[in-house]
Amino acid sequence: MVATFYAGTDWQCTSEPYLERKAVTDDLWPEGAQSGSGTKDTLTAGEHPILAIGAQAQRPYNVVGFVVTYDSATDIAVLNVAPGFVALAYVANITGYAQGSANAWAASLDKHVPVWIDDSDDLAEGVTLSRSPVNDKDAGNPLAGYTWPAQDEWTDSGVGGGNTDPYPKAFSSDAATAYLTTCVMLWPSNED
């Protein structure tokens, strides 16, 4: 189980684009008390989750962003909301729910597939993304973006050169909830 949001110095998969916006944690979810149907980690300095911004009532049309910094003294987070920015995130293999519980899981995670902000109880405390477009209450999840190879995951190019394509990446289970850490490219929903 992943109990805390992603932290560490290696959270960026690309260095740009950057479009930073501030938000107080009351406007971010799933985070702490704003976690919707479940309990999530409470944001602390040094963590870099991808979160939805704005009221849950406007879902699935929320802006999403990666937390760049958080200041507990002001309760303000700075998020990068630039489409095309790529950073590491935990992704759950849940692809669907029935009667309030996960009932479908992916065996693997491929590159360039959509992931959504999911505030369901079924996800671990530090995980905000799944492969399901709806949560455990059948409410639409905001599109976070798409899985994307890291700079050292491009075949025969990229950082280090001579790389092999690691996708699809296998989850530890296809019959229960499991997690992978992978790069995710922010991309706004194109739904009407």
How far is C-alpha 19 from the chain's CA centre?
18
pLDDT at 34: 58
Q: What is the pLDDT of residues 96-150, one digit of tens each?
A: 999 999 999 999 999 999 999 999 989 999 999 999 999 999 999 999 999 999 8
pLDDT at 40: 87
Can you give the pTM of this predicted structure? 0.92
pLDDT at 39: 74
**Alpha-carbon distance 138 to 120, whole Å?**
10
Check if the beta carbon of residue 90 is closer than 8 Å to that of residue 32. Answer: no
Q: Give residues with Cβ within 8 angstroms of 122, minimum separation 6.
A: 38, 92, 94, 97, 101, 102, 136, 177
Q: What is the pLDDT of residues 156-175, one digit of tens each?
A: 765 666 667 788 999 999 99
Range of the domain at 154: 1-192
Counted domains in the chain: 1
Angle at the Cα of 3 (from 97 to 16), degrees rounded to 5? 85
Q: What is the pLDDT of residues 32-44, one digit of tens each?
A: 865 555 578 999 9
